[in-house]
Structure 1
Amino acid sequence: MVPLITRQDLKAAIDAGEVTVVDTMPLAYYEKEHIETAVNIPGFPYEDAAAFTRACAPDVLPDRDATIVVYCANVPCRNSELVGLELLNLGYSSVFKYREGIEDWVTAGLPTESSH
């Protein structure tokens, strides 16, 4: 299991520039709206999450010692857990999951951005 991080701790880490945020939603969702500064590694369809992670991680996450936080839509969504586990398998040393996801972030009125 990927260790969890709270919304408050994630916001503080983003503000301090101490974290790389990974949106694990499909590209179209990422382009529509994502947490500020987030990069994208799709975790859906679930059966492709590990392959997507192996393909994308070297480019979007070159530092295996960086603090990384993965998230997806909400608590029931499994994308972030699957991508996070694969990152740990690939040797990333500091991976956390923001379990409540972008729905919680938006509800709290925190900043997002779009790729459009």
Structure 2
Amino acid sequence: MATATAEPADTLATLTADSLKRELRSDRPPILINVLDAEAYQARRIPGSINVPTDNIAVVEEIVPDREAPVVVYCANADCTASPEAARTLQEMGYRNVRDFEDGLQGWRAAGYDLIGNAAS
């Protein structure tokens, strides 16, 4: 009897800055969530993102009731653990289309894209 092999629970879908930029310009852009604290969000963020800190990620249920909606989370950079933690929590909450922009703010800027915020220049 053949058995299906599930992906490991710690496998998260990710995307590049260029892919994210294309998707943000598409007809169905993802909900882009900065999971850093409010102060960091006000300082620097990707345009179009909303702020839901990792320790308050459950509030996404009120903001995004559709569990099939495309959601992308990000934090500061590839070493930051906040966005993968938030993505896993969202998956556990039943969200089925969650990805982590693992390069975060640093990767967005390195790809040549602008950030906004009171310390973005």
User: What interval of TM-score do these two structures reach, taking the shorter chain for normalisation?
Assistant: 0.7 to 0.9
1:110 and 1:63 map into 2 onto residues whose CA distance is 29
Gaps spanning 5+ residues in structure 1: where? Answer: 44-48
How many residues are matched?
108
The structure whose residues are more often helix, as a share, is 1
Residue matched to 1:22: 33
Q: Which amino acid aligns with 2:25?
A: D
1:80 and 1:39 map into 2 onto residues whose CA distance is 13
Is 1:103–2:102 an aligned residue pair?
no
1:25-63 deviation per Cα after TM superposition (whole angstroms, max 9, x unaligned): 1110111121111111112xxxxx3xx111x21233232
2:113 and 2:104 map into 1 onto residues whose CA distance is 12
For the structure 1 residues 98 and 59, does the alpha-carbon distance in structure 2 shift closer, same or farther, using more than 3 Å as the test?
same
RMSD: 1.7
Contact 2:18 2:111 in 1 (8 A): no
2:19 and 2:80 map into 1 onto residues whose CA distance is 21
The structure whose residues are more often strand, as a share, is 1
> 1:115 Cα deviation (Å)?
7.3
Q: Which amino acid aligns with 1:36?
A: P
Identity of aligned residues (%): 25
SS of equivalent to 1:65? coil
> 1:5 Cα deviation (Å)?
1.0
Is 1:66–2:69 an aligned residue pair?
yes
User: Normalising by structure 2, what TM-score?
Assistant: 0.81
User: Normalising by structure 1, what TM-score?
Assistant: 0.84
Gaps spanning 5+ residues in structure 2: where? Answer: 1-9
State the 4+ residue runs in structure 1 displaced beyond 3 angstroms: none
1:53 to 32, 54, 57: 57
Q: Which amino acid aligns with 1:14?
A: L
Q: Which amino acid aligns with 1:67?
A: P
